Amino acid sequence: MNTIRVGISEYTVSNTPDKLVTIGLGSCVGIAIYNADKKIGGLSHILLPDSSFFSTVDKPEKFADLAIPMMVEAIRKKSGAGKLVAKIAGGASMFVQDQESIVGGIGNKNIEAVIKVLGELGIPIIASHTGGNNGRTMSVNLENFEVTISTGNKEIVTL
């Protein structure tokens, strides 16, 4: 089994027996998408919700509205047809200003954007571990789509 690390503003698509891992999910959101029939999936680590606020986009993988469709296209290209499902993690409020904001901080905006894009693509979110104020590490086992979340306060959750 290879463990493939996915950095901030990146996504990777692979298949079993690989494991995909991303660290440093603070306000960022990790999106794992999986085709169970083919045991092919991807992991994206988005930094920002929406690219439309920027006049130029140098790295589309940074944005939920661009990265998720790109990753889904790559998964479908590799796996063909099949039902896709998602699990998400992250979107924490890492700063006091975020927690006190009426509209919520960037973490909440990232979560909302990910939910919106997945909904538009018809991909159900079957599990999530979002919000709070702790950073996370997200590991995706492509054999069975087991997602393990380790938080900054040493909590370990399996989705």
Tokens matching residue 31: 């999106």
- The rounded distance, in Å, linking the Cα atoms of 103 and 109 is 9
Residue 25 annotated in active site: no
Cis, peptide link before residue 124, omega less than 30° from 0: no
Q: What are the backbone dihedrals phi and psi of residue 72, each rounded to the nearest 5 degrees, phi first? A: -60, -45
Choose among 33, 114, 106: nearest CA to 74.
Answer: 33
- The rounded distance, in Å, linking the Cα atoms of 78 and 54 is 31
**Active-site residue identified among 28, 40, 46, 84:** 28
- The rounded distance, in Å, linking the Cα atoms of 120 and 105 is 23
The residues assigned a catalytic role are: 28
